[in-house]
Amino acid sequence: MIRLKLEFIIQARLTRARKQRRKMEDDFVFHGHSFEGKPRPLFVTLSVPGGGLGNYMFMVATLVGVARKNNRIPILMYPDHRANYFEGLALEVTAETNLYPNRNLTDDDLMFEAACSWYLNDTANLSTTKFANRTVALRGYLQSFMYFDEFREEIRTMFTFKEHTLNAAKDAILQGIQGLDNTSTALHNQTKVPTLVGIHVRRGDILHDPHKAHGQTPATEQYLLRTALRYQRKYAPVLFIVISNDIAYCREVFVDDHFVFISGTPLEVDMAIMTLMDQMIMSVGTYSFWGAYLNGQATDISYFRDWPRPGSDLARITNKSEYFLPSWHGRI
């Protein structure tokens, strides 16, 4: 039953994503056409490529959201291999010299964010800014859902993973479940298919300086166990699917017979797994954000409320009300 449910979700998403890709190609991709002798369209672009996968996705989602709000064409000045992860994403990539002919990009071409997780209101109506009649290059991390959430279904569909990635995610889930001890109570309930609850645990670099000094902090063991217990009681029978960059730590924290530990899979497969869950427990970071945001069926999403560390530099530049969706639940 779990296999059939996952296969149904995957096929439905791929069907929507392929339709979405065709629409993006029609709306945004030029296929070699020149603007010579034609009115030049107004563009929105990004001044620099993103960092990690979650950062990259925030920037691209914001690019598309700002373009949609302003009836402009989103365009990239840098190719990025991560665009190939997604079935529904189609954006034109061009050289900087095509957007800014006969000169270099300058600060006057840039629209700067105030802070990494604060929404910049001017992006909602570029016609009231100095960029009313020219290309604007967005500069910053752009990590607020408010840039793009009014186009939520388009963004989710755009970031649908490729078929081979979704199938790898499905296989990892099923193999993990098969590897459970046959005494697992969640697998022996014959009247109800187990609820799949994803748990993402970010650790690694955020445990150390300079990230730690800046204000990064991992979700606590108390938060992880308390939140997992809440879901276990509410959605029984439950199977927890654990994704982490520190699986050894997770095996020490989660010791019951209903935890499946995913290891040895690429980062895009791990995120795809999160998007297939029935419910989701986040930890911290943009990667965790997107694993939850792209999950179209989860109705109960939790995040670690004490990130960033209170009083830190990161806390001062993070507006949590513009970063976490209002429907998500902050817990400690």
Predicted confidence (pLDDT) per residue in 58-74, tens digit: 999 999 999 999 999 99
Supply the pLDDT for residue 19. Answer: 96
The region of weakest confidence among 32-41, 123-132, 168-177, 234-243 is 32-41
* Reported confidence tier of residue 29, pLDDT bands at 50, 70, 90: confident
pLDDT on residue 49: 73
Q: In terms of C-beta density within 10 A (0-12 exposed, 13-18 middle, 19 or more buried), how is residue 8 classed?
A: exposed
pLDDT tens figures, 299-330 = 999 999 999 999 999 999 999 999 999 999 99
Instruction: Specify the pLDDT at position 184.
Output: 66
pLDDT per residue as tens digits for the range 172-229 = 999 999 988 665 666 666 578 899 999 999 999 999 999 999 999 999 999 999 999 9
pLDDT higher than threshold 80 for residue 280: yes
Q: Which amino acid is at 91?
A: L
The pLDDT of residue 202: 97
Phi, psi for 152 (deg, rounded to 5): -55, -50
Share of the chain above pLDDT 70, in %: 94
Q: What is the pTM of this model?
A: 0.94
Q: What integer is the mean pLDDT of 42-63? A: 93
pLDDT tens, position by position, 96-126? 988 998 888 999 999 999 888 999 999 999 9
Q: Which token pair is 68?
A: 């949609």
How far is it, in rounded angstroms, from Cα 56 to Cα 163? Answer: 21
Give mean pLDDT, residues 144-161. Answer: 98
